[in-house]
Amino acid sequence: MKQVDNLLSEIAEKPEKLTAPSDKKSTVTGAKGTIIYVDPNQLETVDGSPLGDDIQIELLEMTDNSSMLMNNTQTVSNGQILVTGGAYYLNMTSDGNQLRMKQGKGLEVEFPKLTEDEMGLFLGERDSLGQINWIQAEQNFNSKDLEVPEEPKPKKTTKKETYSEIDLILGYIENKEVEPLTKEEIEEYERQKREYETASKTYESVELMNFGWINCDRFWNDPSPNTDIQLLVNNDSLSGARMYAVFSDINSVVTAYYWQGMQDTASFKNVPIGKDLTIIALSAKNETPFIFETTINTATDKQVQIEFMVTTQAEIKEKMKGMN
């Protein structure tokens, strides 16, 4: 598995690097809209040393299937398929020292709102084989209770004017009975609109007690019966592979793995019957990447013969970007 995992680490998206001061509260926003409220008084180094001048923040925002693929991140909780509304990785250090939240303290973060579905907070853990499992936390993502800005209307004037006969004929009286909006009133309304639009793009903040993998998810409650899809690797020269199944109608990715000599057949487990899947398998040998891709329907295709072909990292990235 080492060679394919080295390949995955090379094509993975790199976390965004952000900085916050260590001597005062600040707000940091990620490229895709995550808002982090940094309070240095709630943070400490793991080794007990003092914070440096700045806090270094690593933020990875995975908001679509291609990002999940490139970062080897499946959407599964203890065998149950999840539908994701965005997955994230968040970490903080200071002068190279790992930070953590002080006991009883938390970090307030607003995550992007990408769906109207009811979503819950899940925290991720990777096992020894690199597979990530999401554990449901006791928090939900709640929409903000925002008041829509009211568009101002011109006010009726109390000013009395004498109109000429021409004014009466041309209907100018009605137009002169209202005062136009002032420049200040228009600018204030536009400001309120911008603030409303910005605020509505994220959920209310959730409190994180630890750094690491975070997911905005819901369980996929599909009434269809489930099945397993067997993955048969037809290349004895490749020592390991990772396989990904991307659903066509939901934001969800499941993974499987293969290594030479494994006793059980690699498979995608507990997949609802009647779903269209795109399957991508990756392997590597002597720094040469290999790929396999196909589309199946889980009602008719219970086994997939995986025939790897030589590829490049650029081609792998291009295929993954097409999975959205």
Averaged pLDDT of the chain: 91
* pLDDT value at residue 159: 55
| Residue 167 confidence (pLDDT) above 60 | no
Read off the CATH number of the domain in which 261 is found. Answer: 2.60.40
Q: pLDDT band at residue 139, thresholds of 50, 70 and 90? A: very high
Same-domain status, 78 and 208 = yes
pLDDT exceeding 90 applies to what percent of the chain? 78
Question: Strands of 35-38's sheet, edge to edge?
Answer: 26-29, 35-38, 107-110, 206-208
Number of domains within the chain: 3
* pLDDT value at residue 128: 85
Q: Which residues contact 34 (CB under 8 A, 6 or more apart)?
A: 59, 61, 88, 109, 110, 111, 112, 202
The parent domain of residue 179 ranges over: 155-196
Tokens for 140?
Answer: 């939900």
Same-domain status, 122 and 34 = yes
| Residue 160 confidence (pLDDT) above 80 | no
Measuring CA to CA, how many Å separate 308 from each of 67, 222, 313? 23, 32, 14
- Beta-strand pair 303-306/226-233: parallel
Q: What's the mean pLDDT in 258-270?
A: 88
Same-domain status, 181 and 270 = no
Same-domain status, 20 and 95 = yes
Would 160 be classed as within a structural domain? yes
Q: Which residues contact 132 (CB under 8 A, 6 or more apart)?
A: 72, 73, 74, 76, 124, 125, 126, 213
Q: What's the mean pLDDT in 196-207?
A: 96
Same-domain status, 112 and 255 = no
Would 150 be classed as within a structural domain? no
Model pLDDT for residues 51-107, shown as the tens digit of each residue: 999 999 999 999 999 999 999 999 999 999 999 999 999 999 999 999 999 999 999
* pLDDT value at residue 263: 79
Same-domain status, 105 and 37 = yes
| Residue 178 confidence (pLDDT) above 80 | no
pTM of this prediction?
0.87
Would 212 be classed as within a structural domain? yes
| Residue 164 confidence (pLDDT) above 70 | no
Tokens for 23?
Answer: 């001597």
Would 33 be classed as within a structural domain? yes
Q: pLDDT band at residue 323, thresholds of 50, 70 and 90? A: confident
Would 5 be classed as within a structural domain? no
| Residue 173 confidence (pLDDT) above 50 | no
Would 99 be classed as within a structural domain? yes
Would 89 be classed as within a structural domain? yes
* pLDDT value at residue 155: 77
* pLDDT value at residue 161: 55
Would 1 be classed as within a structural domain? no
- Beta-strand pair 43-45/35-38: unpaired
* pLDDT value at residue 31: 97
Q: pLDDT band at residue 272, thresholds of 50, 70 and 90? A: very high
Q: What's the mean pLDDT in 259-268?
A: 87
5 contacts 243 by C-beta, under 8 angstroms: no
Q: What's the mean pLDDT in 242-266?
A: 91
Q: Quote the CA–CA distance of 294 and 268 in Å, as a whole number.
A: 14
Same-domain status, 23 and 137 = yes
Same-domain status, 20 and 114 = yes
Same-domain status, 205 and 74 = yes
| Residue 16 confidence (pLDDT) above 90 | yes
Same-domain status, 187 and 203 = no
Count other Cβ atoms within 10 Å, centred on residue 191: 11
Q: Quote the CA–CA distance of 5 and 72 in Å, as a whole number.
A: 9
Q: pLDDT band at residue 153, thresholds of 50, 70 and 90? A: confident
Phi-psi label, residue 177: left if phi above 0, alpha if psi -120 to 50, beta otherwise = alpha
* pLDDT value at residue 283: 95
| Residue 177 confidence (pLDDT) above 90 | no
Measuring CA to CA, how many Å separate 112 from each of 31, 106, 181, 188? 11, 19, 35, 26
Ordered alpha helix ranges (H), 171-223: 172-175, 183-199
Tokens for 62?
Answer: 């995975």
Same-domain status, 297 and 191 = no
| Residue 40 confidence (pLDDT) above 60 | yes
Q: What's the mean pLDDT in 20-42?
A: 97
Same-domain status, 102 and 49 = yes
Long-range contacts of the stretch 218-222 (C-beta < 8 A, 24+) = 218/82, 218/83, 218/85, 218/117, 218/118, 218/119, 218/120, 219/77, 219/80, 219/81, 219/82, 219/83, 220/80, 220/81, 220/82, 220/83, 220/250, 220/252, 220/272, 222/81, 222/272
